[in-house]
Chains A and B, each alone.
Chain A
Amino acid sequence: MSNKTQGGRATILGWIRGSLDRGELSAEQRAAIDSRLANPRRNLIPARAQVDHAAQVELFLEYLGAANGTFTRVAAEADAPKALSEYLSSQNLPQRVAMAPDAWLQGLPWEKGAPLLERRAGPARPEDQVGVTGALAGIAETGTLMLVSGPDSPSTLTMLPETHVVVLRASQIIGAMEDGWDALRKREGQGKMPRTAIFITGPSRTGDIEMHMYLGAHGPRRLHVIFIDES
């Protein structure tokens, strides 16, 4: 296969250069592009994302709601388990969840706050009705959750169960997607990415039948955030 691919590459690159009426780029031109890629610069960031943190929090929740997401706001980490349990009851969902094997999430006082809740840690299985995860960040500009895959964060939890609950702290709210890239580069190193980085804005939806919007097309029908104000 590689021979053909090699041939394909040389042919296509040759065509591109031919159309652009030049040969390969000079060493200086290549170096200029390398440096642009090694030092990524932000383009324009909308003003509405560049407000103080308290305003970003409000903006995040406002846009989350506008995208059909819901949230419960609690004062402290210790309140999160009860909030989850109550949310499940309010939606007539069983007290049984698949939860990301994330140390912080698993370390919340579940037994105390939600004694009836059954938790299984690990990726989602087809029969799971509720997936609970953390997130890398919440983006104020559009009410978007940013999640990345990894050993403590299976990507199936975000997509397979009908209900996705995200436990998020106020300190995780950032202004724009670009702040998310910075956080990710700090974690992974420049130019490196986890297998999946997903930006979630509201639950799954489709407009494919007469342009009417129905929620829960393939991914979750409900997206709920348990929002912890204390950082």
Chain B
Amino acid sequence: MQPTSANFIANARDAIADDNLQLAIARVGENFGAKRQQAVDKLPEFDALCGRAVEIKDDVLAHLDYYLEVYERAVTASGGHVHWCATVEEACETVLRLCRSVDAKTVTKGKSMIGEEMEINPYLERHGIEPIETDLGEYIIQLAGEPPSHIIAPAVHKTKEQVTDLFHEHHRKFGKTERLTEGEDLVAEARELLRGKYLAADVGITGANFLIAETGSSIIVTNEGNGDLTQMLPKMHIVLASLEKVVPTLEDAATLLRLLARSASGQEMSSYTTLSTGPRRADDPDGPGEYHVVLLDNGRSELLGGEFQDILRCIRCGACYNHCPVYTSVGGHAYGWVYGGPMGAVLTPALIGLAEARHLPSATPFCGRCEEVCPMQIPLPKMMRHWREQSFQRRLTPGRERLAVALWAWFARRPALYHLGARFAIGWLFRRARGRGHMRKVPFMRGWTLTRDLPAPEGGTFQQQWRRRKRA
């Protein structure tokens, strides 16, 4: 998708004014947040598992080249193929070539964030192949022509009425003219229509939550079973995965799986955790005849060895989204690209460039909730700070902000002057409030006072109060 991250501030303002959206994202925080806590409370070993999971991924990242080579050997040994793609362009071309090799007209798709990065759907459409999203949430937003707004609940911003309208409009061509308003019926209609699509598709494309070096398997985790139908019915199964998804052994995958569903939705396990290894065997009665893994880098290898390496531990559980006061105020679309929430605020600048995404790492109150709930213990706030520093150093921060920071730095290095200035400012603000305790307007602070009042300072500067209390 064409990034609109540069418009984050305007996007966010629109999002806050959208009542439907506000209702929807409030549900995310309440629902996933509470359920996650219950699931974590039920597993006393949760923190210890997180610690072990971090070690597993750190080992993988430190030796990623070798683990990937071993992984590829295992895939090849089980009759599958790995296609190494440095860029999204290469990955798209590879998928197209594979689809054409079996003369594909339609492909069904399980949920894949790498597919979103690649913009594979419009790409296939441009080349005469119809892609059909099968995850209900992805299907809904495909009909709406929108990107996902949450990593595990892509259509969470849509109300039931909006789904009713979308189905009514788009299902007419299949002879479904009744306007369905019950959730139950909407789910059933999508199920029925997509059944036909699975059976007719020539190729099934899924993502991967993990790749296993030991066995050459890919793992998908779903609740609907759409990923399974997508990969078992067509002739060819294509897996889209980025290279940091590899883990050493089946046991290591088990450890990470214990964290994934609990952190994501508060389930003990999602309904389906499926390992796929190679194509169907000679004596298998069903399954795909070909198995291909499109292994995408798209800038990730550059993050190794640097201050952003730890973000590659991410297992895309979405817990940081659900607990982020910014995400739960503005929703996913405001972030303007594939990933949102604190994870997106760190990853997006790395993948599409800081110039485009420089607002994202600034959209944080540094409350630290994301890091607390992250099962992979990724220091998200620290990384956002790194991006802000880089943005300043690379002069991406606009002149006015730079001037303000420079001015502050000049004063901060001159303590006497700083105290004098602070005392003057406090006195001035106090008089301006005229005893009301708050003020509606302050020069240069329109952005702040437009939506709220500024409380008037009371009782002198911090240093004055400090001295007073020390004396007392």
Contact = CB atoms under 8 A, between A and B. Distances in A.
Size bracket, chain B contacts: 35 or more
Interface string A147-180: 0011100111011100000000000000011100
Given A159-B229, A219-B224, A20 B243 contact: no
Contact of A195 (B90, B140, B186, B287): B287
A229 interface: no
A151 B281 CA distance: 9
A109 B70 CA distance: 47
Given A209-B183, A218-B226, A219-B229, A19 B249 contact: no
Contacts of B85: 8
A63 B268 contact: yes
Contacts of A42: 251
Contacts of B129: none
B339 to A, nearest CB: 19
A125 B451 CA distance: 60
Contact of A151 (B68, B249, B283): B283
A210 B183 contact: yes
A67 interface: yes
A33 B70 contact: yes
Contact of B304 (A19, A122, A149): A19
A162 B327 CA distance: 37
A13 B68 contact: yes
Interface stretch (B130-138, B343-351, B420-428, B459-467): B130-138
A217 B223 contact: yes
B83 interface: yes
A123 interface: yes
Contacts of B301: 12, 15-16, 18-19
Given A12-B84, A193-B277, A33 B66 contact: yes
B271 A200 contact: yes
Contacts of B49: 43-44, 46
Interface in A1-48: 1, 4-5, 8-9, 11-13, 15-21, 24-25, 29-30, 33-34, 36-37, 40-44, 46-48
Contact of A25 (B63, B275, B287): B63
A65 interface: no
A107 interface: no
A185 to B, nearest CB: 8
Size bracket, chain A contacts: 35 or more
B280 interface: yes
B286 A217 contact: no
B356 interface: no
Contacts of B153: 207-208, 211
A196 interface: yes
A211 B31 contact: yes
A152 to B, nearest CB: 9
A170 to B, nearest CB: 21
Given A29-B63, A209-B136, A218-B134, A47 B272 contact: no
A46 B67 CA distance: 27
Given A43-B52, A44-B255, A9 B278 contact: no
A68 B263 CA distance: 20
Contacts, number: 278
B399 interface: no
Contacts of A101: 285
B285 A154 contact: yes
Contacts of B66: 24-25, 29-30, 33
B45 A44 contact: yes
Contacts of A12: 68, 84, 86, 243, 295, 297, 301
Contact of B272 (A122, A154, A195, A200): A200
A197 interface: yes
A112 to B, nearest CB: 27
Residue from A33, A141, A150 whose CB has the most chain B CB atoms within 10 Å: A33
A36 B70 CA distance: 12
A11 B243 CA distance: 13
B463 to A, nearest CB: 46
Interface of A: 1, 4-5, 8-9, 11-13, 15-21, 24-25, 29-30, 33-34, 36-37, 40-44, 46-48, 63, 66-67, 101, 122-123, 126, 141-144, 149-151, 154-156, 158-160, 176-178, 181, 191-212, 214, 216-220
27 contacts: A1-B97, A5-B82, A5-B84, A13-B65, A20-B305, A33-B63, A34-B70, A43-B52, A46-B44, A46-B45, A67-B271, A141-B268, A154-B286, A155-B287, A156-B286, A159-B229, A177-B257, A193-B216, A195-B276, A195-B279, A196-B276, A201-B273, A204-B272, A208-B137, A209-B155, A209-B163, A214-B184
